[in-house]
Each structure stands twice: as C-alpha cells, then as structure tokens.
A and B are shown apart, each in its own frame.
Chain A
C-alpha cells in the first residue's frame, strides 16, 4: 500500500530551527512536494524535490534521500507566522499525488 508518515505535531521556539521529517512507502517515486497550510486556509506550495540532496529557498530548505524513502523540511529563524501545518506529498509511479496527514507546527515566543 501507499503510506506517508509525518509527526502529528511539533513545537519549537521563535528564532530557532526545526526539522520536520517525512518517510514514504509508495509504488514508485516521481517527486516529493512540501506544502504549508495555515489554519482555515488552503495549502500553498513550498518546495519540490526529485533528486537526492538539499534544496534551499530562503529560510526553508528541503532534503530528499530516495534510497531511504525520506525527506525533511528545515525551517530556520522561526517566526510566529510559521505556525501552520506542513504537508508532505509524494508522486507515485502513476503520477498520482499521495498526501501525508500533515505536521502541525506550533511556534512559541
């Protein structure tokens, strides 16, 4: 079956760094997305990885290891506005987007 695992909830402090992990077992792999979703709002695109390694985009970075079925989203210099859910989604061999349940990130002052 298809499975994507993320922690349900994480807490971090303003100004700190947090890493949100995502592991997946899917029928094939054609890329991985990270989306951010604030409460009551729609998901918005953060990053896309298809090759192994780290993709950096400002305060946010995303890492992928295809051999390990593993990705993480790294958020630096946390701000209160980063409080949101972070969704990991994998494209399988049929080019279907399989969504994780999301990780709720709580930022404390």
Chain B
C-alpha cells in the first residue's frame, strides 16, 4: 500500500490567494483527519471524517477554512483567502474501520504551506 498521499508537498502563495490541499487516504480506511502543525501550537486537529461525513470540525480556525470528502478516496482542505498566519505543515491522516480510540492513525507526508 502506498500509504496516505498528500499533494502538493510544498506550496508557496501570496496573501489573499486560495489554497487547496489534497489527500488520498489508505484504501479501506474509514476515518480521515486533517491536522495543522506549527512550532508555536504543535499538532492541532482541524476536522475529521467518518465514511466521508464530517464528524467534528470544531478545530477549524475560521470560515476561511473548509474541507470536503466527496468520496472514500479523496479529501480537500481549502483556505480562502489565505493569510500569513496560515503558514504551517498540514497533515492528513487516516485510520481503519473500528474503534477510533484504538486504531492507529497513519499520517501522510504533509504539505508545507507558506503564505507570503
């Protein structure tokens, strides 16, 4: 299995532009998580999906952030408009069907976003 795939790996954009991050979870995994990691705040859960349905988006910082999962093999995290404070590494993770409290989350390589 290829593992969790994220694209792009690096993104540099200017303030005010729209940014779209993409994730392909591991085949057969029912849970998908979006995280943001910064030096100041560590790893923060933004949103997670179960069977393509958003379960908890309380970690989404504001309305500029939105996430979708149109099918079991693809999810997007969109920031519009982007701001310099959004600069971070964004991780996507997936875990298999079962008890979410025990299933390991498998992380993608991350997208390093820089907003100038």
Contacts and interface: CB of A to CB of B under 8 A. Distances in A.
Q: Tell me what chain A mostly uses at the interface: helix, strand, loop, or mixed.
A: loop
* A-side interface size class: 10 to 19
Contact of A31 (B42, B56, B101, B108): B101
A102 B91 contact: no
Given A42-B91, A99-B44, A101-B42, A30 B101 contact: yes
Interface of B: 42-45, 56, 91, 100-102, 104-110
Contact of A50 (B91, B100, B102): B102
B102 A48 contact: yes
Nearest to A99: B43
B105 A99 contact: no
B104 A48 contact: yes
Contact of A95 (B43, B44, B101, B107): B101
Contacts of A96: 45, 56
Nearest to B4: A42
A68 to B, nearest CB: 20
Nearest to B91: A42
Contacts of B104: 33, 45, 48
B43 A87 contact: yes
11 contacts: A42-B91, A42-B107, A42-B108, A42-B109, A42-B110, A43-B43, A91-B101, A95-B101, A97-B45, A100-B42, A102-B43
